[in-house]
């Protein structure tokens, strides 16, 4: 590996370390913060919405069952007829989801994703009445009324393949509240419409507060890694996607400064979302982590102020989404919804979306083993990148051929690094070698490396998929648990990470032996970098480290094939011909300026010596 190859390698390693460090999970001790503190970059014309976030006990509190008719009337006023009743459960389902509703509140009680299991291989319950609560609050002369505390009459029917359930509370004199849910086959959407008829004079402030609090249930083996990917996303009317910071254990909160079209409680592989037919102008969201609670990933909270006009007979339509973060599913949702599947920064995202994912999806049709799919994906990517790899090895061969002349120059010039650089550039120009041609091909392969770093950890397709000794390619493949935890490494040993590290060291050694041009500290540094990556990637998904390991193995084969087509004698002959051809060639303006700078430097050195 020559000097320029070394520079390219170190630059690539530095970029990788910065990239991995930036995206690596970081957990800080949780600090106490006021629930009413709102992060805002600039002031707004309207006062900030206070969170008024209920406690866990408050969100599950129900009115006393033994309340008398008079107490109910005093509490609910005109709504007293729905203040008591019998609670019954009802189920709507299609081929994707199973949803339980309650006649009390007409609310969602449980959501099961039928195609998925949790990490314990039980049916995947995305939310239930112990972890999730959605309230609709209004202000009346009797005080605040929670519409989800009322009891509703239920009508359930089917229209073709569409299942419909309606919850209705009738208060007489053409005053009623109606909630209708519709589920169609083949998707994860729940169409929702709430109609409030005749309540205009009863709701004092002309608005409804929608409060959604979800203690997001643990669905994956590695809860810390899941927290790293869990947040609240939202999309504004000006086409901007944003989210709360997810890579921290500190409480995060935000008050909307622009109307939003949807919000989502996004986990690593699954999302619960509320999509509005009419933008919501005012709202507050927050997330927080209780690291002692190993059954809850994060607690997500949203308080949205909806004008009463949103609940007229002509309005009031929302869409709930409960489903996987899978591109072909998210693409069918409203604008910006695909951002719930994070695929990296723009260039990286485009590579994943328009190259990696289509290839992966195509391979899924023909191969059942995802380990085999990763292997085939490596071969395809290596084949696409083979011209760059070949060019890089040709550059290494040219430098290897020039090594005797470079050594002679170094012996002739001595320790003058500046003079040596000038003579080296002069030699490169004479023989027609671009000193950057060795590192540029390596850097051009970086986007693919970063793309895989983002795709594999977010690929729900790998979830709970076993391969060899790894029981789940979406998490680390622990073969040994240490009795202690190493800083930056953890307490488990991932075998694929070890194999990746050893194969990288071997690959580096083979290149070093073949070129024998790297000297000094850089020769040691090239072996140090794989060890750093071993620490960084130990807790990353087995699918990712397996991909890098297979990529190294295929690289060995590539080197062996390429070397059969690289003839040092032929390369040396071409370089000598170029040297003769360029012997009397006029120097370029850059070379002229470089020579002038060298002469000025020599003159300055001579003057300093004469003064001494």
Read off the pLDDT of residues 34-84 as tens digits, 9 standing for 90 and up.
333 333 333 333 344 555 555 544 444 444 444 567 788 878 888 999 999
pLDDT of residue 564: 81
> Sorting pLDDT into bands at 50, 70 and 90, what band is 573?
confident
Taking residues 567-577, what's their average pLDDT?
74
Judge whether 318 and 277 are in contact, CB under 8 Å: yes
pLDDT tens sequence across 352-377: 999 999 999 999 999 999 999 999 99
pTM of the model: 0.81
Radius of gyration of the chain (CA): 32
pLDDT tens sequence across 246-267: 999 899 999 998 999 999 999 9
> Sorting pLDDT into bands at 50, 70 and 90, what band is 514?
low
Taking residues 24-41, what's their average pLDDT?
38
Taking residues 594-604, what's their average pLDDT?
64
Residues found in the chain: 612
607 or 47, higher pLDDT: 607
d(CA 333, CA 337): 6
pLDDT tens sequence across 466-502: 999 999 999 999 999 999 988 888 899 999 999 999 9
d(CA 75, CA 359): 60
538 or 604, higher pLDDT: 538
pLDDT of residue 193: 95
pLDDT tens sequence across 74-118: 788 889 999 999 999 999 999 999 999 999 999 999 999 999 999
User: Which letter, b or e, does each residue of 553-580 get, where b requires 16 or more Cβ atoms within 10 Å of its Cβ?
Assistant: ebbeebbeebeeebeeeebbeebeeeee
Mean residue pLDDT of the chain comes to 83
Please identify which residue in the block is written with the tokens 């890694």.
Answer: 225
| Distance (Å) of CA 585 to CA 173, 426, 435, 591 | 100, 12, 19, 12
Which backbone phi and psi does 453 adopt, to 5 degrees?
-65, -30
> Sorting pLDDT into bands at 50, 70 and 90, what band is 571?
confident
Q: Which CATH number fits domain 54-342: 3.40.50.1220, 3.30.420.40, 2.70.98.90, 2.40.50.140?
A: 2.70.98.90
> Sorting pLDDT into bands at 50, 70 and 90, what band is 33?
very low
Taking residues 578-595, what's their average pLDDT?
64
Domain boundaries, the chain: 54-342, 358-580
Taking residues 542-548, what's their average pLDDT?
96
């Amino acid at each position: 590996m020559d000097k320029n190859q070394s520079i390219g390698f170190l630059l690539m390693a530095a970029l990788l370390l910065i990239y991995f460090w930036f995206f690596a999970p970081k957990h800080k001790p949780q600090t106490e913060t006021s629930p009413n503190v709102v992060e805002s970059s600039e002031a707004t014309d309207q006062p900030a919405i206070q969170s008024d976030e209920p406690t866990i006990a408050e969100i599950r509190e129900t009115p006393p069952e033994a309340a008398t008719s008079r107490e109910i009337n005093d509490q609910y006023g005109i709504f007293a007829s729905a203040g008591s009743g019998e609670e019954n459960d009802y189920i709507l389902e299609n081929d994707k989801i199973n949803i339980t509703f309650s006649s009390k509140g007409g609310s969602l009680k449980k959501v099961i994703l039928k195609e998925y299991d949790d990490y314990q291989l039980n049916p995947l319950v995305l939310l239930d009445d112990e972890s999730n609560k959605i309230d609709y609050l209004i202000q009346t002369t009797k005080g605040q009324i929670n519409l989800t505390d009322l009891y509703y009459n239920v009508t359930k029917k089917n229209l073709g393949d569409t299942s419909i359930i309606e919850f209705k509370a009738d208060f007489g004199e053409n005053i009623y509240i109606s909630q209708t849910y519709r589920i169609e086959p083949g998707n994860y959407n729940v169409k929702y419409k709430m109609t409030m008829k005749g309540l205009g004079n009863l709701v004092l402030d002309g608005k409804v507060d929608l409060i959604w609090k979800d203690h997001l249930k643990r669905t994956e083996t590695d809860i810390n890694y899941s927290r790293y990917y869990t947040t609240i996303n939202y999309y504004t009317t000006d086409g901007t996607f944003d989210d709360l910071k997810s890579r921290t254990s500190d409480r995060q909160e935000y008050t909307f400064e622009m109307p939003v079209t949807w919000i989502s409680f996004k986990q690593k592989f699954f999302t619960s979302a509320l999509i509005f037919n009419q933008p919501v102008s005012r709202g507050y969201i927050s997330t927080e982590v209780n690291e002692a609670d190993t059954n809850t990933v994060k607690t997500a909270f949203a308080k949205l102020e909806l004008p009463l006009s949103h609940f007229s007979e002509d309005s009031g339509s929302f869409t709930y989404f409960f489903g996987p973060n899978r591109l072909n599913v998210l693409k069918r949702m409203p604008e910006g919804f695909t951002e719930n599947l994070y695929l990296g920064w723009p260039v990286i995202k485009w590579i994943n979306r328009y190259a990696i994912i289509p290839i992966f999806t195509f391979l899924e049709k023909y191969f059942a083993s995802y380990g085999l799919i990763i292997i085939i994906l490596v071969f395809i990517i290596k084949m696409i990148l083979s011209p760059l790899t070949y060019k890089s090895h040709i550059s290494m061969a040219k430098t290897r051929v020039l090594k005797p002349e470079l050594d002679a120059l170094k012996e002739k010039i001595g320790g003058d690094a500046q003079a040596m650089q000038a003579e080296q550039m002069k030699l490169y120009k004479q023989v027609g070698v671009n000193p950057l041609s060795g590192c540029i091909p390596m850097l051009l392969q970086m986007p693919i490396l970063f793309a895989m770093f983002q795709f594999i950890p977010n690929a729900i397709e790998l979830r709970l998929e076993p391969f060899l000794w790894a029981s789940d390619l979406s998490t680390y493949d622990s073969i040994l648990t240490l009795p202690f935890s190493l800083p930056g490494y953890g307490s488990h040993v991932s075998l694929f990470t070890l194999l990746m590290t050893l194969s990288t060291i071997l690959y580096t050694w083979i290149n070093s032996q073949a070129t024998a041009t790297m000297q000094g500290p850089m020769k040691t540094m090239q072996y140090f970098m794989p060890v750093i990556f071993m620490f960084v990637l130990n807790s990353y998904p087995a699918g990712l480290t397996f991909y890098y390991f297979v990529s190294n193995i295929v690289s060995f084969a590539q080197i062996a094939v390429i070397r059969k087509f690289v003839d040092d004698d032929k390369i040396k002959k071409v370089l000598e011909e170029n040297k003769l051809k360029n012997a009397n060639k006029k120097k370029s303006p850059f070379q002229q300026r470089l020579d002038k700078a060298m002469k000025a430097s020599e003159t300055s050195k001579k003057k300093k010596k004469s003064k001494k």
